[in-house]
A = this chain, B = another copy of it.
Amino acid sequence: MLDAALELFAHRVPEDVSLDDVAEAAGVSRPLVYRYVPGGKQQLYEAALRSAAEDLEHCFAEPPEGPLTQRLSRALDRYLAFVGEHDAGFSALLQGGSVVGTSRTTAIVDGVRRAAAGHILRHLDVAEPGPRLRMTVRMWITAVEAASLIWLDEDKEPPLDELRDWLVEQFVACLVATAARDAQTAEVVRAALAMETADGPIGTLARQVLPVVGDAAHLL
């Protein structure tokens, strides 16, 4: 029954999912749904959301090996695949104003954000991340959510792998900008760059950025 609910809530806005739909998809009677889920649609929605949140948190797990951009790319690949598979439900959830949105659903979504931030900070390998590094990571996570919503809204354009690479580049850019005013982030950036290779994403980004900023020698 939970599988059926998950599937329905993934592809429709919550308003368009009825308990009759869930009963039919699960091949059970409506009274049986109510016996197992006395809280009705709201309870079923929250159970489906908790299950989806667990799946999503698994997307972020990545062994702490190799260049950071590779690890981030792999996690983003899984995250964007998840977003693509839960399109209507993902949009409805994050856009708010849904009839099933409560402080409990907000708490579940926030838990996923915190888990994502925790994973990233562990990969950045700092024992006690300071406020600027934490804020940078959380800002980027929110920006990724915004990009995901726009991506769904624009029929999944650009293609997943392009969006993924771009989001990785945005992360590097945000970290570098924060490094200008935060010694801890500067150390993180130095350590991260040392692991990258010229044919990797940061090498490519650096070579593409230089001609754009090259005319701005008057700023140095």
Contact = CB atoms under 8 A, between A and B. Distances in A.
Contact of A213 (B150, B178, B189, B218): B189
A206 B193 contact: no
Contacts of A207: 220
Contacts of A190: 212, 215
Nearest to A167: B139
Interface in A138-180: 138-147, 150, 154, 157-158, 162, 166, 169-170, 172-174, 176-180
Contacts of A147: 135, 139
Interface in A174-202: 174, 176-181, 186, 189-190, 193-194, 196-198, 200, 202
Contacts of A139: 143-144, 146-147, 170
A173 B179 contact: no
Contacts of A110: 95
Contact of A135 (B97, B150, B197, B200): B150
Interface residues of A, number: 69
Give the interface SS of chain A, mostly helix, strand, loop or mixed. Answer: helix
A98 to B, nearest CB: 8
Nearest to A113: B146
Nearest to A139: B143
A104 interface: yes
A215 B103 CA distance: 47
A127 interface: no
A171 to B, nearest CB: 9
9 contacts: A96-B96, A97-B106, A177-B209, A180-B205, A193-B219, A203-B220, A206-B213, A206-B219, A206-B220
